[in-house]
Structure 1
Amino acid sequence: MALQGVILDIDGTLVLSNDVHANTWVEAFAAHGLEILFETVRPLMGMGGDQLIPKVVPELNGEEEIGKAIAELRKELLFDKFIPQITTANGSRELILKMQESGLHLVVASSASSEELEIMLKIAQVDDLLSEVTTSDDAEASKPAPDIVQAALNKGQMTPDKVVMLGDSPYDIKSAGKAGVSVIALRCGGFSDEQLSGAIAIYDDPKDLLQHYDSSPLDPNLEL
């Protein structure tokens, strides 16, 4: 069955934002008297705040008052201080254009808020190319839960056997796997090949995938 569509993660995949997001969490926790190291938070990038907060501070969850306050401050810090530090990944726009030229149906699956996603798409220089998006508003639980991938499948009216996901973290792989979707992983999110071992293929960044497009799982002639 030939590939029909691609579900797209954005943070760490099309924009280089994982270190920045980790720093926003460190500062947000610190503002609430919690000293959390960058090295503790960084491996959790790609996981939504509702999952990350109890992972870092087990006595909290993202729904309690303090948890919500930390998550909200993280978002404020991102917009007020850290956005200028985020850059596009090499080849993001060119890869999206190539996939569209190949006739692939593209749907964004991000755990970010609608406001954050809008900015990330602009940084990736693809905001004029991608119109079908799902955000944290469309999912009850964030990655590694499958909700956001399932929401993207539903929005694109696609079935898992005709789709791959493009992501950068082990949480993308877990989330997609639970929804029956295979993942092409990119190293530009900062995770090791061992951590990305559940992917069907691994490339350095969008540019690397584009350069190997015809021999990749995105090859329109490849049967899934």
Structure 2
Amino acid sequence: MKELAPTEAVLLDIDGTLLDSNDAHAQSWVDVFQRHGLPPTFEQVRALIGKGGDKVLAELVQIDHESPQGKQLSDERRDVFLNRYLPDVKPTPGARALVQRLRDEEIKVVIATSAKGAELQALLRRAGVEDLIEEATTSDDADHSKPDPDIVQAALERAGVQPVEAIMIGDTPYDIEAAAKAGVDTLALRCGGWWDDAALGRAEAIYDSPADLLRRWEESPIAKRRIPGG
């Protein structure tokens, strides 16, 4: 059994976790695919949201994200998302309050997202937490996006903690898998949609939203690990 340590850092996903943006990301990809005559449907794309764009392209249309075509598709997808969909996206319930609570508890907060660095500030701003986040890692900081562990490992380094001292909060099986490969436990949120509890079952606990986690804070793994012997 893995030895538990006090929670010194929380690694936070953004999309689906702090921001109700997963459907918007999927639709952005579909819009661009259709523009280029590519066949993936919304359902096919939506099931991969949480992975990085490199994996979406490779798995759905067999295009290398580093190729000229891959870069063009990725850039167009980013522009569609930021300009057409992001202005209407809302924070998940309790997103800002959760980040504020973590800061109040003197827990290090590091963003660990498969999003590109070029989107990061816009995402944080739309989630209403831009002024509360000081450290972040994106797919630009990793060779491979989730569910590979690279982004989580980069976030651990940024936080300056060991895996047993951190907890990941995310909303997809890819967050859970990436964290597990890095030796980090995960709390899962249902507010990202799409995934049922069975798909999120490897998480230490599952909550409806950041607000639900706050309501149940004292019994959460984060709080229990802050208490000696908890």
TM-score by length of 2: 0.93
Q: CA separation of 1:140/1:223 partners in 2, compared to 1, >3 Å: closer, same or farther?
A: farther
**Residue of structure 2 equivalent to 1:172:** 175
Matched position secondary structure for 1:202: strand
Alpha-carbon offset, residue 205 of structure 1: 0.4
Report SS of the residue matched to 1:218: helix
For the aligned residue pairs, the C-alpha RMSD in angstroms reads 1.2
* Contact map agreement 1:15 1:87 (CA 8 A) in 2: yes
**Partner-residue secondary structure (3-state), 2:200:** coil
Q: In structure 2, what residue type is equivalent to 1:42?
A: R
* Residues 1:54 and 2:58 are matched in the alignment: yes
Tell me how far apart the structure 2 counterparts of residues 72 and 206 of structure 1 sit (CA, whole Å): 31
Q: SS of 1:50's equivalent?
A: helix
Report the TM-score when normalising by structure 1: 0.96
Matches within 5 A, 1:1-224: 1-58=5-62, 60-190=63-193, 191-219=195-223, 220-221=226-227
User: Equivalent pairs: percent with the same residue?
Assistant: 44
Structure 1, unaligned runs of 5 or more: none
**2:33 is aligned with what amino acid?**
F
Residue 168 and residue 216 in structure 1: after superposition, are their counterparts in 2 closer, same or farther (change >3 A)? same
Q: C-alpha distance in 1, partners of 2:76/2:24? A: 14
User: How far has the Cα of 1:80 moved from its partner?
Assistant: 2.1
Mapped partners of 2:140, 2:59: distance in 1: 21
TM-aligned CA distance change 1:223 to 1:140, over 3 Å: farther
SS of the counterpart of 2:206? Answer: strand
Task: Work out the number of aligned pairs and report it.
Answer: 223
Q: Deviations over 1:21-70 (max 9, x none)?
A: 00000011111110221011111110001111111123x22122222211
Q: Which stretches of structure 1, 4 residues or longer, exceed 6 Å deviation after superposition?
A: none
The alignment partner of 1:194 has SS state of: coil
Cα distance in 1 for residues equivalent to 2:211 and 2:229: 23
C-alpha offsets along residues 78-131 of structure 1, whole Å, 9 cap, x if unaligned?
122111221100001111111111121111111212231101111111111111
Cα pair distance change 1:222/1:11, threshold 3 Å: farther
